Amino acid sequence: MKKHNKYNSEVTGAEALILALLDENVTDIFGYPGGAIMPVYDALYDYMDKLNHYLVRHEQGATHAAQGYSRVSKKPGVVLATSGPGATNLITGIADAQIDSTPLVCITGQVASHLLGTDAFQETDVLGISMPITKWNIQVTKAEDIAPAIAKAFYIATSGRPGPVLVDITKDAQFGKTNYQYKKCESIRSYVPYPKVNIEDITMAANLINEAERPFILCGHGVLLSGAEKQLLELAEKANIPVASTLLGLSTFPPENPLYVGYLGMHGNYGPNLLTNECDVLIAIGMRFDDRVTGNVSKYAKQAKVVHFEIDPSEVNKIIQADIAVLGDAKESLELLLPKIKSKNRKEWLKRFEECNVIEDEKVIRQAINPDSEKLRMAEVIDKFHKISEGDAIVVTDVGQHQMITSRYYKFNQPNHFVTSGGLGTMGFGLPAAIGAKVALPNKEVVTVLGDGGFQMTIQELGTIMQSNIAVKIIVLNNNFLGMVRQWQQLFFDRRYSFTEMKNPDFIAVAAGYGIKGKKVTKRDDLYQAIKEMYEAKEAYLLEVVVENEENVFPMVTTGAGVSEIILE
C-alpha cells in the first residue's frame, strides 16, 4: 500500500479526497464504481488497508447502509457513486436521511468540467436535483478545492441538526494535481448550528412545568441525536412526568421505567394518544410534531400549554404553536432546566395512563401476542423475538405493518438500538440499513424485520452480505400482501384489494443462492426455536415466518381524526 508524507505533497485530486476522508477519521465507505468516479476508486486501491469499502448492489443500498451505519455509531455515513444514474440512484436515500436528520457525506463523480451542460454521457445536474433534499451541496471542478469542500461537508453534515450533504467532483478535478493540506472546518460565517439557549426561556418553561398538574413529555429523535437520554430521565423522575416516544425516539427512554407510557402516533399506544388531549402542559423535546403524531391538527392538544425544546428554528410553530419555545441543543437545554424543576406528586395523572394500558391490553395486546387464530400473527413473532434477545438487539425495520408491530412489541433496552425510516417511509430501507448497522457495530446482534414487499425492493443487497461476510439476521414476515396498503383498502375502500396481493418467490431458496442459511416457519409450535436458532447463528441467517394474510395493526388514528379519537379495533 502507498506510503508517503501526505502533507505538502503533490497528489491527484482523487488521492486528496481519500486523504481528506482519512483526516476525518472515516473507516468505512459504501459505494459503487463507475466511469466518472473511477479515478477515486483507483486512488482507493492504495488505501484498502485503511479504508473498508463495501460494494453494494445498487446505489440506493449505499445510502441506506450509510444511514444505518450513522444511526447506531453517531458518525456520518460516507457514500461513493458515479455520475448520471449512479448519482440519481442516491436520491431516495438522501431524501430519507434529510427528513430523519441523519448525517451523510455523499460523494459523486461528474463529467469533465468542459463538458458540463452539454448533455454528455452520464451527465445529470445532480446539484439541482439534490438541492431540496440536502443540507448543503457543492460541485468541485479543481483539485485544490476538494479537501476544503470535504472539510466543510463533514462539518455541515454533523453539526446542529444533522443531515446529508453532497459533493460532486468533476473527472478533471480528480485527475488534477494539488499540494495536499487539510484543515478541519470548525465554523462557517452566517451558519449557526447551535442556537444559544435563552435562560429566560428556560425559566419560563420551568415555571410552567412546575405549576402543571398534568404535564406530559413527548420525546423524539433529537434527544438521541443530542445524547440527552440521561437528562430526559432525570427530568421525568424528578418531576414525576409521564414520557411517550415518537417512532424515531424509540429507545430513548427505558421501557421498564414506570414513567414510560408508550409510543405516539397513528399506530401507537392508546394512552399516549388519548391523553395528549387531557394534559395541561405538553413538553415536546427534540420532535417536530409530524402529522403521524398529531393526527388532525385542529383537534390536537387544544387545552394544553406547549413547551417546545428544538434545535432547528424552522420547526418551531411550523405545525403546533408553542407557548414557550426553547431553542438550542436538547442536552444543553435540559441541563439548564433541571435545577429549576421541582418535585411534585402526580399519582392521579399517572393513574390515567395505567387505566388506558389496561384497556389496550385487554382489547389489543393479549389477542395480538397470544392469538386464538390458527395462523401466526406478526405481534407474537416480535414478542418472542424480544424475549429471546432480551431487548438487547439492534433492530432495523423496513416500512409497513411489520414496522408498526415491531415498534409496538419490541422493548429497546439501550439508546440508538432502533433504526427505521420515519419521515419518508421508504420501502427497501431495512436490509441495506441493517448491513450498515452491522458494519458500524460488528460485535452487536443486528436483526432486520422486513415485510415481503419491502424486502424485494432491495433484495439484491443479499449479495453485499455474501461478498463482505456480514452477519445480519433477517426476519421476513410474509403475508403475501402489501400489508399496510391492504389494511387501508379493507377499512376505507370496501376491501377492494387493488394490486396489493403479492406472489412471492421462495425466499429461502433465494437466500441460499447467496450462500445465506435460512428457514421457513408456518406453525406456532416451531416459532420459538426457529427465532432462537436465527438469533444465535454466527453468520447471516434468513427466517421467513408466514403470517396471517389479513392481520391489521391496532390501535389506529384514522385519516382526519384527532388523536383522542383513536380506535382499538
The CA distance from 436 to 426, in Å, is 16
The CA distance from 476 to 502, in Å, is 14
Across the strands, what pairs with 219?
A: 245, 285
Identify the active-site residue in 2, 10, 121, 501.
Answer: 121
Give the three cell numbers for residue 193. 448550528
Identify the active-site residue in 38, 50, 122, 344.
Answer: 122
Alpha-carbon torsion angle 435, 441, 444, 449, nearest 10: -30
Identify the active-site residue in 287, 378, 404, 484.
Answer: 484
Give the three cell numbers for residue 220. 423524539
Report the 10 Å Cβ neighbour count for 492.
11
Angle at 245 between CA 242 and CA 248, to 5 degrees: 165
CB 343 within 8 Å of CB 240: yes
**C-alpha to C-alpha distances, 172 to 115, 143, 387, nearest whole angstrom:** 10, 8, 56
* Catalytic residue flag (residue 457): no
CB 445 within 8 Å of CB 473: yes
Strands across the sheet containing 446-451 = 418-419, 394-397, 446-451, 473-478, 541-546, 517-521
DSSP H or E stretch at residue 130: helix 126-130
Residue 562 CA neighbour count, 13 Å, CB half: 13
The CA distance from 402 to 174, in Å, is 44
* Catalytic residue flag (residue 229): no
Residue of 276, 287, 391, 369 whose CA lies nearest to 330? 287
Identify the active-site residue in 6, 75, 152, 171.
Answer: 171
Residue of 479, 472, 453 whose CA lies nearest to 542? 472
Three-state DSSP class for residue 329? coil
* Catalytic residue flag (residue 318): no
3-state SS string over 8-65?
CEEEEHHHHHHHHHHHCCCCEEEECCCHHHHHHHHHHHHHCCCCEEEECCCHHHHHHH
Identify the active-site residue in 59, 332, 380, 461.
Answer: 59
The CA distance from 66 to 397, in Å, is 15
**DSSP 8-state symbol, 227:** T
* Catalytic residue flag (residue 484): yes
Task: List b or e across 159-182, with b for residues whose CB sees 16 or more CB atoms inside 10 angstroms.
Answer: bbbbbbbbbbbbbbbbebebebeb
Q: What is the CA radius of gyration of the chain?
A: 24
The CA distance from 535 to 481, in Å, is 26
Give the three cell numbers for residue 515. 450462500
Spatial CB neighbours of 101, under 8 Å, sequence gap ≥ 6: 161, 162, 163, 221, 222, 225
* Catalytic residue flag (residue 231): no
Cis omega (within 30 of 0) on the bond before 555? Answer: yes
Place of cell 413538553: 283
Catalytic residues: 59, 121-122, 171, 484
